[in-house]
Amino acid sequence: MTLLPSWIRSLRPFRNRRLTSSHDAAGVAGTVRQHFRQKASAQGYTLSHGQLQVIEHFAAQAALIDNGQARSLYLHGAVGRGKSWLLDGFFQALPHTHKRRLHFHDFFARLHQGMFDHRHQDDALGCTLDQLLDGCQVLCFDEFHVHDIGDAMLITRLFQALFARRIFLLVTSNYAPEGLLPNPLYHQRFKPVIRLINSHMHVLEVGGEQDYRSLPTHASQQRFTQGHYLWPGSLAQRQAIGLPPFTEAPIDIPVGKRELTARLSQQGTVGFDFAELCEQPTAVIDYLELAKRFDHWIIDGLPRLEDCSIAAQQRFINLVDVLYDQDKHLVLVGAEPLVQSLGGTAADLARTRSRLGQLRQLQASACPT
């Protein structure tokens, strides 16, 4: 007997869910609209015209999910325009239980690991998706971006498999589909993914003048934004916020099958030098593993990023993404003001500047010796 690929096998239970669903379409659409009205009112937000249009698309597609006719959605726009807020609201409002909300960094790292684990299977991707998604009907990806041609090839296969499974996708990105993988050396090879997105998804821009990350109500809800940026990192500054001193002896912390050298590890707090995390060949999967074990992070010795390699800049971007999305408390220490430290040419640094700009900044003049 010939074994069908796992993505085809997975369609059978999916169809059964469609036939047995009892969600009322009009009721689901109304629930989505009402959820956003209450969410915006409670947080003091005035929704932009673009956000209201997106919410109407949410309501319309949510009503179609159970009958398999919903069209996936791709939201793009500048940093701080409320894309993640919209995605979270949609996810919270849906009554469906077969739903997953993932940061793309997290999912893609686990996809790589799963395909390695299933590398001896005929359909490693299908086996990995069966394991990661486990009957998922709605999949929300936050902060989708592509800068590596190797990843781009896998993303083509991933999107083909997800659409074949008829999973409803909601994706947010700082880039319109045509702006993904902008490197002219590779962009042509990424066009199959762009065509997939445009043919299977509604592409919507989230605009507006308000940067929602700058609102006090936004900062009060996150542990990340309670952190600090110190420069130049004097003893008085460190003492002012109760920062524990680094140990003289390095501390080896096992991460997967390797060890990273920390300067501090105690009671849920970890401290690293910038060079150890970003000048070494570390990866997103390493940061995710550490984030499971430590809620409070200290990163010392931030240099001027423009003096670092592109690889080091990208690792720092990835690290900040993980800490922000996992909502970890961060104290970052640099020798210069934050704005002067975050120069560089790596893609997505605008997002990093926006996120680190939410930290409380403590400069030398605030803590006289």
Task: Note the Cα 156 to chain centre separation in Å.
Answer: 19
pLDDT digits (tens, 9 = 90+) for 116-141: 999 999 999 999 999 999 889 999 99
> Is 50 exceeded by the pLDDT of residue 145?
yes
pLDDT confidence bin for 285, thresholds 50/70/90: confident
Q: How far apart are CA 61 and CA 56, in angstroms?
A: 9
pLDDT digits (tens, 9 = 90+) for 33-42: 999 999 999 9
> Is 70 exceeded by the pLDDT of residue 113?
yes
Give percent of the chain with pLDDT exceeding 70: 88
pLDDT confidence bin for 219, thresholds 50/70/90: low
What's the pLDDT score for residue 45?
Answer: 86
The superfamily CATH assigns to domain 6-212 is P-loop containing nucleotide triphosphate hydrolases (3.40.50.300)
The predicted model scores a pTM of: 0.76
Residues 6+ apart with CB under 8 A from 96: 23, 65, 66, 137, 138
pLDDT digits (tens, 9 = 90+) for 236-247: 999 999 999 998
Task: Provide the CB-side half-sphere exposure for 214 (13 A, CA).
Answer: 8
> Is 90 exceeded by the pLDDT of residue 333?
yes
What average pLDDT does the segment 184-206 reach? 92
Tell me what the pLDDT averaged over the chain comes to: 88
What's the pLDDT score for residue 16?
Answer: 42
> Is 50 exceeded by the pLDDT of residue 47?
yes
What average pLDDT does the segment 144-159 reach? 85
How many residues are present in the chain?
A: 369
Cβ neighbour number for residue 143 with a 10 Å cutoff: 21
What's the pLDDT score for residue 216?
Answer: 57
pLDDT confidence bin for 331, thresholds 50/70/90: very high
Q: Which residue has the higher pLDDT, 220 or 334?
A: 334
Lowest mean pLDDT across 203-212, 251-260, 309-318, 351-360: 203-212
List the domain boundaries for the chain.
6-212, 222-366
> Is 50 exceeded by the pLDDT of residue 57?
yes
What average pLDDT does the segment 327-353 reach? 94
Residue found by looking up tokens 């999912």 in the block = 107
What's the pLDDT score for residue 239?
Answer: 95
pLDDT confidence bin for 1, thresholds 50/70/90: very low
Evaluate whether 6-212 and 222-366 have a shared fold.
yes
Q: How far apart are CA 127 and CA 232, in angstroms?
A: 50
Q: How far apart are CA 350 and CA 77, in angstroms?
A: 12
Q: Which residue has the higher pLDDT, 23 or 240?
A: 240
pLDDT confidence bin for 228, thresholds 50/70/90: very high
> Is 70 exceeded by the pLDDT of residue 69?
yes
Q: How far apart are CA 310 and CA 323, in angstroms?
A: 20
CATH fold of 222-366 reads Rossmann fold (3.40.50)
Lowest mean pLDDT across 5-19, 40-54, 87-101: 5-19
